[in-house]
Structure formats: structure tokens, C-alpha cells
Amino acid sequence: QVQLVESGGGLVQAGGSLRLSCAASGRTFSGYKMGWFRQAPGNEREFVAAILWSGDMTYYADSVKGRFTISRDNAKNTVYLQMNSLKTEDAAVYYCAATFSGSVYVKSAYHYWGPGTQVTVSS
């Protein structure tokens, strides 16, 4: 069992930055692929970014490519999402998720989820 807890959400103006963190506990963090998803009101939960356990491969949704950066610190059992140049359409609840297998882009492939952290972007 892996427990995930996100932090770092909040209110930011358009054009600003936030860094989200996801702390993992329970089973060893190593070996898991980690992903970030987001869900705005009335929308489906959508893929944002993912990173392999080794950290040498990262994946991004087209909508955030060049603005968001995912990284991980396996020694701290933590994955991060640096969000720059935020837009109002980035506002959502952001979720951290972990999986051992399956496509990193598909939410049903993830076995563990955090409760989410709210990101609000004002214009």
C-alpha cells in the first residue's frame, strides 16, 4: 500500500508559478511511475505529467508542455510539479498518482491516488 499526499496548491495570478509536492509513504517508493492529473469542475480528470522511477523519462500533456516540469526525489519519496506561466485554464484540483505498470497517460492504470490539492488561477 502506498499513501500519497499532495501540497503546494493555492491562489496565484495568471502568469505566476506554483510548485506542487506529493509525498509518498507506506511501501517503497522505488519502481513506481508517478503521475499528476487534474480535474476542473464539470470536466474529466485529465493527464498532466508523469515520470518514471529512474527520473530519466518524463511525459507531458500538450497543454502544459514547456510550462510545467515534473521531477522526483526518490530519497525523499517525493515527486514535484513545477508550474510556470500559469493560465486561468490551469485551475483545477491536482492529483498525484502512482502505478507499477500500464500507460502513464491513462488514469485507470494508476493504483494509488492522493486526495488532491486545489490550484486557483486568477486573471
Residue pair 39/117 in contact by the 8 Å Cβ criterion: no
- 23-45 pLDDT, tens per residue? 998 877 678 899 999 999 999 99
pLDDT tens readout for residues 70-116: 999 988 999 999 999 999 999 999 999 999 889 999 999 999 999 99
Phi, psi of 52 (to 5 degrees): -75, 165
- For residues 18 and 86, the answer to whether their CB atoms sit within 8 Å is yes
